[in-house]
Amino acid sequence: MKKTIIIEYTPRNQRSRTKRILETLKSHISNNEIETIDLAQNLPPLFDNHSLGAYYKRNYGGEILSSQEEESMQKFDYYVEKILQADTIIIAYPMFNFSMPAAVKAFFDGMLQKGKTWDINESGYIGLLNNKRMVLVTSSGGDYSQGTPMESMDLSTPMIKQYASFVGIKYLHIIAAQGLANSEKEEEIIAKTENTAAEIASIISN
Ligand SMILES: Cc1cc2nc3c(=O)[nH]c(=O)nc-3n(C[C@H](O)[C@H](O)[C@H](O)COP(=O)(O)O)c2cc1C
């Protein structure tokens, strides 16, 4: 059985439109064991003096960590472990201030570990997640789609694209419900996005 890990940050919970699209996507996925890391329920840590020192010591220096240092990296290592086990990684969040919410950025800071999800060799950076698929489920009040005047204000999509390519992911699917601030169009936009979600679910399932 294949594995899907969902990294979810939808703090409006049952009122969240992002969550609604994510639930539709999830309901159409078969043939997968699905696990969720809910970042809104359990916030990721930020690197501090202690944990960043531990990260350099272990991932760059190859040194053994003390139990206290290990502990400071525990949540980040848990994220890495879950990502490495998965065939598909689904990231779901609403746009916050033209970008991904800080909690999601903190998740990536902890998961983008040298020697685990990426590395460096003579020819440069190499991604270590080559065989995985990534899906972004997101929503925003504004419409930043390609060719629109606000396209360049969207810092979220370029970030996700960069992270995916950095870790070697070749298949990135983006499900974005944009322009939801227009309440007359909201339902129509979400319904269209849910159709896309169902199509992507069949790719994940097969
Ligand atoms: C703190 C915060 C910042 C936001 N910043 C933006 C933004 O920069 N651009 C935008 O289009 N929408 C922005 N929004 C609106 C949300 O992205 C939009 O309403 C989204 O659909 C909410 O998703 P949800 O229903 O899953 O919570 C922001 C909302 C919040 C709460």
pTM summary value = 0.97
At 137 the pLDDT is 98
Q: Which domains does the chain have, with CATH numbers?
A: 2-44+85-205 (3.40.50.360)
User: Cα–Cα distance between 64 and 53 in angstroms, integer?
Assistant: 12
Tokens of 68: 């206290």
User: Which atom of ligand 1 is nearest to 143's Cα?
Assistant: 11
Q: Of the residues 8, 38, 97, 136, which should be mutated to test ligand 1's pocket, given the most ligand atoms within 8 Å of the CB?
A: 97
- As a whole-number percent, the residues of the chain with pLDDT over 90 amount to 100
User: Cα–Cα distance between 163 and 160 in angstroms, integer?
Assistant: 5
| Averaged pLDDT for residues 155-184 | 97
Using one digit for the tens of pLDDT, what is the confidence trace for 6-57? Answer: 999 999 999 999 999 999 999 999 999 999 999 999 999 999 999 999 999 9
- Compute, in angstroms, the gap from residue 94 CA to the centroid of ligand 1: 6
Strand order in the sheet with 133-139: 32-38, 2-8, 88-94, 133-139, 171-177
Say yes or no: CB of residue 94 within 6 Å of ligand 1. Answer: yes
At 104 the pLDDT is 98
Distances (CA, A) of 59 to 18, 63, 89, 128, 166: 35, 8, 23, 14, 17
User: Cα–Cα distance between 15 and 11 in angstroms, integer?
Assistant: 9
At 121 the pLDDT is 95
Using one digit for the tens of pLDDT, what is the confidence trace for 127-148? Answer: 999 999 999 999 999 999 999 9
The torsion defined by the Cα of 83, 53, 75 and 132, in degrees rounded to 10, comes to 0
At 198 the pLDDT is 98
| Averaged pLDDT for residues 163-178 | 98
- Please give the full DSSP string across 98-126, using - where no structure is assigned: TB--HHHHHHHHHH--BTTTEEEETTEEE
At 47 the pLDDT is 98
Say yes or no: CB of residue 10 within 6 Å of ligand 1. Answer: yes
At 177 the pLDDT is 98
At 37 the pLDDT is 98
